[in-house]
């Protein structure tokens, strides 16, 4: 499965990056990596993103 980021989700991700990076760029990079990892995990384990099908 392919995970598609909506424009709103992409903007939220960018806003979170900007907010965290203002104080700690390393933490912002780590958080962005966690977002990517979570999206990749959902792409691999599709049913985990559907309530009741885990």
Residue 54 lies in a domain: no
For residue 49, the 8-state DSSP code is G
The structure tokens 């990892």 sit at 37
Residue 24 lies in a domain: yes
How many Å apart are CA 32 and CA 17, to the nearest integer?
7
pLDDT in tens, 20-45: 999 999 999 999 999 999 888 888 87
The per-residue pLDDT for 21 is 98
Residue 52 lies in a domain: no
How many independent structural domains does the chain possess?
Answer: 1
Residue 2 lies in a domain: no
Q: Decide if 14 contacts 53 (C-beta within 8 A).
A: no
Residue 17 lies in a domain: yes
Instruction: Of 31, 38, 1, 34, give the one whose Cα is nearest residue 16.
Output: 31
Residue of 46 and 30 predicted with greater confidence: 30
Confidence of residue 51 (pLDDT cuts 50, 70, 90): low
**Structural domain harbouring 32:** 7-47
The per-residue pLDDT for 54 is 54
User: How much of the chain exceeds pLDDT 70, in percent?
Assistant: 85
How many Å apart are CA 4 and CA 34, to the nearest integer?
16
């Amino acid at each position: 499965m392919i995970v598609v980021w909506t424009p709103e989700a992409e903007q939220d991700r960018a806003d979170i990056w900007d907010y965290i990076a203002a104080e700690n760029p390393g933490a912002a990079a780590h958080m962005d990596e966690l977002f990517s990892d979570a999206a990749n995990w959902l792409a691999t384990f599709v049913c985990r993103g559907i309530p009741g099908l885990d």
